[in-house]
Amino acid sequence: MIVRGVKLRATTAEGDYGFNVRFARNLTIVRAKNSSGKSTLFNSLLYGLGMEELVGGRNEKVLPYAVKEHFEYDGRRILVTASEVLLEIESRSGEVVTLRRAIRDSVRNPKLIEVFGVAHLTQGAELGEARPTYVHDGGGAKHPEGFHRFLESFLGLSLPQVPTTNGGETKLYLQTVFAAMAVEQKRGWTDYIANIPFYGIRDARTRVVEFLLGLGVFETNALRNRLNAESVEIDADWRKVYDELRREAAPLGAVIDGVPVSPTALFEDTAASVKRLAGNSSVALPEHIMQLRAEYIALQKQAEQYHKTSGSEAMHEVALAMDELQEFSVLHERATAHRAEQRVSLRDYEHLLAEANEDLERNKTAAKLRDLGAKHDVATAAGRCPTCNQPVDDTLLAGAVTGPQMDLATNIAYLDSQRRMLLRQIAGLRSGLQATELRVVELAARIAHKRDLLTAMRGDVTSGASESKAIVRRQVQIEVEVEALERLQSKATALFARLVQIAKRLSANQSARRSVPKEAYTAADFDRINRFQMQFRANAGSFGYESAPIREVEIGKDTLVPCLAQIELREIRTDIKSDSSASDFVRLIWSYLLALHQTSSVPSSPGNHPGLLMFDEPGQHSMAVDSQHALLKQLASESNLQSIVAASFDEAEEVFRQATDGIQYNLIEWSDKLLRPL
């Protein structure tokens, strides 16, 4: 990305005031005295890019009053009636656009950024028709109308999804990336990447570095998250089919055999079947259907000979039906009573589990407090009374139980074991309760059918009919049941086929998981991190860093920031050997931000750095002029980097001359105030 020029226009009663500057494609130095407008220029540039959150706020509030209310010029106080910023930028592909954003305007809102596809500032092209975009409203980074979504596309970037502090995911917003490219004066030099706006991104600084270096961690995480989401979907689809099988089978007194509750990649439809309950056993559905059809044929033959049946034979059939009904009723009562017992047992076990969980949590809390006390040499944590120095029992039941007592660690282990046992018991009870409930339903259906049949048989006996209504009723029952069971068999076959497809998806998911790197970074990622570390060390050495041996400084593999003895190098470390002076810490920031670009711009393994660095007063804390010279020289030598450095150089001509000696740069400077007649 190249910033070609920026213009601020403030409309007043005396005409237009402001500034209009052009930037070089490599190093541009903005030189002016303190309080003369360097930061105004710098912040206006950020404002035009929609990045003013890096300064500490949103919209025009971050800009000084001089560009939106009034300013002093030639001894006069001039009121601003309207103001705007125009910014011309160029993409890597050579596309040029001009951005316009209002600061103070009665019509245009500061949230509006107009995009014109022309080079208005450098070539004087007419602005023409604008493409309106917006910032700092919902969807600004996702919708095509959002400016940051436009800018992401313009820069050729594809920002990844990253984890949030609340366990979800969000986009790595462009503002977080620009925090590593633009360092403002007031708070920008307090961290390696300071002023990252808060979007709830977990370890935002690390995520930004990973993105700029082009590490594969985002692709790995995206693949892992996709596989996790697919795994959840597979589990849900499996359970949905399993529940549908149970719903279809239960009303007909059937059970599903060979289908696990949870998905498995080993599932085969040949091992799955539907069985019909028959007393305490079960019969395969096709076999049960064959039995029903055989019974139907036997009933047909019996109907043909019914007129020859004597009264005593008919009464004997009624008696047999009554005995069967009585037997079913007894079995139904037993099953109902057993179901009630199982429900009571389940409630009892669930109550015991809740108590075990509570006791386990209390003991873990007590152990945690004891361990914390041990770290701070608290006497009670060592089992001694701090007053009388006598032993203190390591238990929550001291004085409540006589005899030997378990200490906290043993009690925690025991309670955890008890909890696991209760969970197994509860799972078994729930499974048994399901089977019992199915048995109750099956027996209730049998009783209903037998009662209907018995009523018809009694009618046959009392009426003395030549044709048996009972036989006809039973045949109708068989026809209805066979039709329902055949539908169930057909439905189950289709559902088994769906389970086979789900099992194949699970197998593919598991195979893909095995190919995902177990480590956060791949071998190629570690190569880039090592290259980043080498560039950082080289920069720090050339910039005169002296607070620690530079060869011992490493880029931490967890945080991706400079570490010494696995401790992050900071500005103030008074208790360890990695203590850094204030100016030396700024040198580290220079080295770090520049190394991000250098590592990203390697042609063989390019990263995602847009190729722009903007520093406001990098010479913090009385920085040595030799270090400033080394920084400017390094910036000017980077062929694929545009750098804009705003500095006062201690308001000394000699310091400026020494810092820029032998360096090729474009200079922007003014003697008084930045705002002047356009």
What average pLDDT does this structure show over 116-140?
Answer: 92
pLDDT in tens, 637-647: 998 999 999 99
What 3-state class would DSSP assign to 124? coil
Quick check: 264 and 503 in contact, CB under 8 A?
yes
Has residue 81 been placed in a domain?
A: no
Has residue 337 been placed in a domain?
A: yes
Q: Is residue 179's pLDDT more than 90?
A: yes
Percent helix, strand and coil across the chain, each to the nearest 5: 50, 15, 30
Statement: the pTM of the whole predicted model exceeds 0.85: no
- Fill in the amino acid letter for 534: M
pLDDT in tens, 24-53: 999 999 998 888 888 899 999 999 999 999
The pLDDT of residue 308 is: 53
Q: Is the dihedral of CA 415, 418, 424, 429 positive or negative?
A: negative
pLDDT in tens, 547-600: 888 899 999 988 899 998 778 876 444 333 344 578 889 999 999 999 999 999
pLDDT in tens, 8-19: 999 999 999 999
Q: Which residue has the higher pLDDT, 344 or 519?
A: 344
- Report in angstroms the alpha-carbon separations of 515 from 191, 215, 511, 512, 518: 37, 18, 7, 5, 9
Has residue 215 been placed in a domain?
A: no
**Domain containing residue 467:** 233-349+415-515
pLDDT in tens, 182-227: 999 888 888 999 989 989 998 999 999 999 999 988 888 888 888 8
Has residue 363 been placed in a domain?
A: no
Rounded CA-CA distance 406/397 in Å is: 9
Has residue 655 been placed in a domain?
A: no
Has residue 323 been placed in a domain?
A: yes
**Total structural domains within the chain:** 1
The neighbouring-strand residues paired with 616 are 646
The pLDDT of residue 459 is: 67
Q: Is residue 406's pLDDT more than 60?
A: yes
What average pLDDT does this structure show over 92-117?
Answer: 94
Distance of CA 214 to the CA centre of its chain: 20
Has residue 147 been placed in a domain?
A: no
Residue with tokens 């594969």: 216
Vertex 146: Cα angle to 144 and 151 (nearest 5): 90
Q: Which residue has the higher pLDDT, 46 or 410?
A: 46
Rounded CA-CA distance 102/111 in Å is: 8
Rounded CA-CA distance 21/34 in Å is: 19
Q: Is residue 335's pLDDT more than 50?
A: yes
What whole-number percentage of the chain has pLDDT above 70?
A: 89
Has residue 266 been placed in a domain?
A: yes
The pLDDT of residue 85 is: 96
Q: Which residues of 268-299 are buried (b: 16+ CB within 10 A; e: fewer)?
A: ebeebbbbbbeeeebbebeebbeebeeeeeeb
Rounded CA-CA distance 662/221 in Å is: 47
Q: Of 211, 115, 102, nearest to 154 (Cα)? A: 115
